[in-house]
Chain A
């Protein structure tokens, strides 16, 4: 979705400079939420203020919204059918490959030093053993960063 936003606003409509787009993208990456929504929201604000921001966010979320509503409508009716279950059992096995590979690819780049590795193991252990809400892992990681990485 990000390349599409860039092509439309930077190349075709020319309402945003390349630099401004990259700035928006990097801010979007450091904020929580879906990357596409954050980016759309930021470029909307940069180009035309709050009204355009809201319009862009809606325009980004709506296609997913409607396609998932339609899918959910049918899926929730037919998911119990043995054939659907058989399909999902096979699909899920390769979802595992897709996700494990993605985790490997992101993880290899994200861990920069031994502090990262140690903290990752500690936080993972904490998450698995105590069963705390994952948002506390986020807060704990960020909080430790305030002391260790400032």
Chain B
């Protein structure tokens, strides 16, 4: 319910009105985006690692 209200409010901020039916469909999509955002945030981009990768030509 909180997610639905959040979506509704953010769309309203952008001047976009949506029906309840459409809004219901946006909840799982928004949750999917949150998963992608969290996945992207798994990368530690704040500091350099050394080495980032290795290559083996032996296999």
Say whether A and B bind each other: no
The chain B residues found within 8 Å of chain A, CB to CB, are none
